[in-house]
Amino acid sequence: MTGVERTQVAIIGAGPAGLLLAHLLAADGIDAVVLEARSRAYVEQRVRAGVCEHPTVELLRSLGLADRLDREGLPHEGLSLRFDRADHRIDLHALTGKTITVYGQQELVKDLIAARLATGAGIEFEAADVALHDLATDSPRVTWTDVDGGRHELRCDAVAGCDGFHGVSRPSIPSDAITLHNHDYPFAWLGVLAKTPPSSHELIYARHARGFALHSMRSPEVTRLYLQVPPDETLDGWSDARIWDELATRLEVDGPFTLREGPVLEKGISPMRGFVAEPMRYGRLFLAGDAAHIVPPTGAKGMNLAMADVYRLAPALVALLRQGRAELADGYSERCLRRVWRAEHFSYFMTTMLHRAPDVDPFLDQLQLSQLRYVTGSTAAATGLAENYVGLPLD
Ligand SMILES: Cc1cc2nc3c(=O)[nH]c(=O)nc-3n(C[C@H](O)[C@H](O)[C@H](O)COP(=O)(O)OP(=O)(O)OC[C@H]3O[C@@H](n4cnc5c(N)ncnc54)[C@H](O)[C@@H]3O)c2cc1C
């Protein structure tokens, strides 16, 4: 054992949840150690989400963490639902007074890491064999092996499990103390990152008889595109040429639109899953972000939910550790889960409205079209979509 260390909060995982929590706690003078299984280079290159809700952007600004996001992020005032070979614009700004900002998750992670390191606080990258102990007591412990093979033990007052869906935190909770809700959608997304300017300055969610397609972007030079594929699909049959052909077919529209092709930088297939762990707490372990819940990406909610969780967790930990007041910590899970279930439903709504289900029949097909016409034709229905999409208020 190299050494026994002490901190107030052990944060497991340096994704958006863990990193933002570290900043929120530091702003309140609470010490934290962040343990991350991967290298800095890996987490800074991992391409994932790209849509920041209005409350997420406001939160980052309030912490002085949005300078580059404000310079380089792409504010969007609307999005398009494309069906029946036509675009139907949802004017987010006119309907809600708010916008969303397209800014790659990996860029945000870079900013949050740089800001933490600039304060002199560290992040333990490449921490292996992370294990949580004594979680049901007021003095939990975390052990791990550092990059040089040294063993460490960290004693703390609370553990924040921000280590994503495949992390170690949630499985550390005894199975009789947690309920897991799971919903597997019958499709997956084949995602492509391409070095080509976006073909439209707004996101296009396309419903097509061959399946869903999404046109998105990460910057003025990089386009992000997705295709609905079967859940067991592999990349084997998907040459770049086939991907571009299929995108062109599903994004076809009457009117001026040309899909800009370019070199494919990255491609992958992600399953579509809804998952909620309840409660998001066990003793002194608090789960946040993907460690506790997963949404299908159609609603662009996963990263935003992760940030909303830690926005609630930070004051709960401050009250618990500084004043010995437990009310916020005791209510943490319930308050988060209200937002989580809203996001689960919104993601389900967007997913089922736009994807082609394997068991679709002409009746269901017409229901889907009717829903799309209603949501784009009624100001009341469009407002419901828009206010969920830009993000419901954090408080
Ligand atoms: C293809 C794709 C597209 C998406 N698009 C969107 C979108 O448009 N909008 C949106 O809001 N969300 C989107 N998401 C979801 C979003 O990326 C996640 O919800 C978000 O990353 C959650 O953040 P997190 O901090 O909870 O978890 P993560 O980002 O997963 O971070 C967890 C961290 O913990 C580390 N870790 C794991 N195990 C351990 C361990 N044992 N010890 C120490 N560290 C560990 C991991 O390496 C990781 O760095 C998308 C996801 C995917 C895959």
CA of 285 to the centre of ligand 1 (A): 19
- Is 100's C-beta closer than 6 angstroms to any atom of ligand 1? no
Provide the edge-to-edge strand list for the sheet that holds 222-229: 86-90, 79-83, 204-206, 213-219, 222-229, 179-194, 264-278, 293-294
Question: Which atom of ligand 1 is nearest the CA belonging to 165?
Answer: 30
Note whether 299 and 314 are same-domain residues: yes
**Count of alpha carbons within 13 Å of 283, Cβ hemisphere only?**
21
User: Is residue 206 situated within a structural domain?
Assistant: yes
Query: Residue 130 CA to chain centroid, in angstroms?
Result: 23
- CB-count burial class (<10 Å; 0-12, 13-18, 19+) for 343: buried
Asked if the model's pLDDT at residue 207 lies above 70, the reply is: yes
Identify whether 323 is part of a domain: yes
Q: Ligand 1 mean position to 290 CA, how many Å?
A: 6
Q: How many domains does the chain have?
A: 2
Domain around 201:
185-272+359-390
According to DSSP, the β-strands at 158-161 and 285-287 are parallel
User: Quick one: 338 and 369 in the same domain?
Assistant: no
The reply to whether 206 and 70 lie within a common domain is no
Question: Using CA atoms, how far apart are residues 327 and 150, in angstroms rounded to an integer?
Answer: 38
Rounded mean pLDDT of 14-41? 97
Say if residue 183's pLDDT is above 80. Answer: yes
pLDDT of residue 47: 86
Residue 1: its pLDDT value, please? 58
Residues 48 and 130 in one domain: yes
What is the per-residue pLDDT across 247-273, written as a single tens digit (0 to 9) for each? 999 999 998 899 999 999 999 999 999
CATH of the domain at 307: 3.50.50.60
Mutate to test the pocket of ligand 1, among 42, 48, 218 (most ligand atoms within 8 A of CB): 48
Give the side-chain half-sphere CA count within 13 A for 105.
21
Same domain, 304 and 172: yes
User: In 10 A of CB 206, how many CB atoms?
Assistant: 24
Q: Give strand pairing partners of 87.
A: 82
| pTM across the whole model | 0.96
Per the domain annotation, does 92 fall within a domain? Answer: no
Spatial distance between the Cα atoms of 282 and 161, rounded to a whole number of angstroms: 10
**Residue 81 CA to ligand 1 centre (angstroms):** 26
**Ligand 1 proximity of 15 Cβ (cutoff 6 Å):** yes
Regarding the beta carbon of 169 and ligand 1, being less than 6 Å apart is answered no
pLDDT in tens, 97-125: 999 999 999 999 999 999 999 999 989 99
> What band does 192 get if pLDDT is binned at 50, 70 and 90?
very high
* Residue of 276, 278, 393 lying closest to 332 (CA atoms): 278
